[in-house]
Amino acid sequence: MDSLRFLRILLVSASILLVSLLYTVTAGDIVHQDDLAPKKPGCENDFVLVKVQTWIDGTEDAEFVGVGARFGRRIVSKEKNANQTHLIGDVVIVDRGNCRFTAKANNAEAAGASALLIINNQKELYKMVCEPDETDLDIQIPAVMLPQDAGATLEKMLINSSKGTPS
């Protein structure tokens, strides 16, 4: 990862830390069966569609749909009775690219994150799987990919919140 991109991620992470008290995120899910992507210990979660609801100062705001990763803490599916989980702590947001999904999750977890949101570099969602040679798969936080437009909206919300302006 080049230093400019790393700095950008750090700045976005710092913004998240500054406004973490302003945001609450809930996630609901629907399972998506897929037996084509390889499964192995530490990388065997079902793919689930995840609803990410944001709140600013106690007011419901934007809602995004993402996909859970094959690795990390399992997002339990209740399908029609979606399991809602309120995250407590900092959620790290990073852009897709430059390193493996699992490396991003391990780095976020090591930094104390309670969850990881990976913003895709395309409008579509992408299933996050593990590479065949990966061994560092003891990831304890959930990882969710959001589409590119959701990432742009989240970034705008964070910038506006840090400036004290409405989104």
Q: Where are the domains of the chain?
A: 3-163
HSE (side-chain half, CA atoms, 13 Å) at 32: 16
pLDDT digits (tens, 9 = 90+) for 103-158: 999 999 999 999 999 999 999 888 898 888 888 899 999 999 999 999 999 888 88
Q: Collapsing DSSP states into helix, strand and coil, what is residue 43?
A: strand
pLDDT band at 9 (very low <50, low <70, confident <90, very high): very low
The highest-level CATH class for domain 3-163 is: alpha beta
Q: Which of 98, 131, 130, 92 is nearest to 113 (CA)?
A: 92
Check residue 12 and give its pLDDT.
39
Q: Which of 26, 16, 19 is nearest to 51 (CA)?
A: 26
